[in-house]
Amino acid sequence: MTDDLFDDPTTRYGLAPDNRRYRFPAPPGVEPAASWRRTTNLIKAFSDQYALQQWLERMTLLGLLANDGLLFDELATSGVEMMAPDVQRKALEMFAAQARTAVGGDKGARKGTARHGVLEHWMFAGEVIGHRRIRLQFEQLLEILDAKGFDLIPGTSERFVFHPIAGGVVGRQDARFLCRRTGQEGPADLKCGKVDEKTGRRFWTYQEYAGQLFIYDDAPWTWEGPLDDDGCWAPKTPGNYVGRPGGAVEGERAGILLHMPANGAPEVVEVSLEYGRRVAEIARDATEHRALGKHAGGICPA
């Protein structure tokens, strides 16, 4: 592996610039691979992305018309139709992303990134940063956690984990939490959740997040140290938190979602890790069957 795959030449491991794969050495006993699938990309094989894809297409078309059609003019004069296929694909993806940005199509994702930054800084320094509205929302979230008897565990923020499912996936867990009532620990994940502002329709469900939480919790390896050869994979044990009496996941292994929507009050939700295990297994089976289908040779003369 070469260091020029990354924006920072001092960083050897982590997310590659295309945001599609992770580059890490294999954990002990695992067959090496050039790269590893992202946990979120695996879980997408389970998710129903149809409504989200339709929304993205609408935002792209609206973005081409924004600013008196400036981006459309640039696209029409770019010569994209004469480019080689691989160059054309990258150019069109760039224009599409710029179009969605022009009409705020990436606003939810950017707000989510900002809120993750608030959580990471608070876990590291114990200080709430950001403008007044985001600080108020995060402080409300902390009050909810305290009322429920949950503490986020210092030093567990933004840790890379490796799970052998589907040939090996890498994810970056947001945090782990401690239940003060029982002494049990489990995974915690911050989500912002994309919502269509006009219709109020959600493009996400707790199903896919349950799958992610299961992988983060069940992963047997976590990365320790810097993102270079001075770091290494270290053994990790799963959590033991179970859902509280009277809740939707009573008595089941569970994690919690810290939901901070772009607009609205935060909430803390228990999510079943047993259900998440089934989600992850279905996603694994779906990806394996798709790979087989590419070479099945199922089309032939009758």
Please write the tens of the pLDDT for every residue from 218-268. Answer: 999 999 999 999 999 999 999 999 999 999 899 999 999 998 887 778 999
Evaluate if pTM is beyond 0.85: no
Cβ-contact 216, 186 below 8 angstroms: no
Cβ-Cβ contacts under 8 Å for 294 (sequence gap 6 or more): none
Alpha carbon distance 118, 130 (integer Å)? 7
Query: Alpha carbon 6 to chain centroid distance?
Result: 20
Cα atoms in the 13 Å half-sphere on the side-chain side of 123: 22
Residues making up the chain, counted from first to last: 302
In a domain, 252, yes or no: yes
Give whole-number Cα distances, 59 to 18, 63, 104, 185, 196, in Å. Answer: 22, 6, 8, 41, 11
Q: Are residues 254 and 116 in the same domain?
A: yes
The total number of structural domains in the chain stands at 2
Residue with tokens 């567990």: 156
What pLDDT sits at residue 7? Answer: 45
Q: Are residues 112 and 187 in the same domain?
A: yes
Domain CATH number, residue 151: 3.90.320
| Closest to 39 measured CA to CA, from 219, 294, 204 | 219
Q: Are residues 116 and 211 in the same domain?
A: yes
Please write the tens of the pLDDT for every residue from 146-178. Answer: 999 999 999 899 999 999 999 999 999 999 999
* pLDDT at residue 179 tops 70: yes
User: Can you give the residue range of the structural domain that contains 243?
Assistant: 107-291
Alpha carbon distance 55, 256 (integer Å)? 28
Q: Are residues 198 and 237 in the same domain?
A: yes
Q: Are residues 85 and 212 in the same domain?
A: no
Q: Are residues 77 and 181 in the same domain?
A: no
Please write the tens of the pLDDT for every residue from 37-96. Answer: 999 999 988 876 666 678 788 889 999 999 999 999 999 999 999 999 999 999 999 999
Q: Which two tokens stand for residue 297?
A: 């040779």
Cβ-contact 163, 157 below 8 angstroms: no
Confidence of residue 105 (pLDDT cuts 50, 70, 90): confident
In a domain, 217, yes or no: yes
Last residue of one domain, picked from the residues 102, 122, 138 = 102
In a domain, 255, yes or no: yes
Q: Are residues 131 and 219 in the same domain?
A: yes
Q: Are residues 124 and 245 in the same domain?
A: yes
Question: Other C-beta atoms within 10 Å of 123: how many?
Answer: 17
Instruction: Produce one character per residue of 42-65: b if its CB has 16 or more CB atoms within 10 Å, e if not.
Output: bbbbbbeeeebeebbeebbeebbe
Question: Other C-beta atoms within 10 Å of 35: how many?
Answer: 16
Q: Are residues 116 and 202 in the same domain?
A: yes
In sign, the C-alpha dihedral spanning 216, 217, 219, 222 is positive
Q: Are residues 257 and 177 in the same domain?
A: yes
In a domain, 16, yes or no: no
In a domain, 258, yes or no: yes
In a domain, 31, yes or no: no
Residue with tokens 């010569």: 79
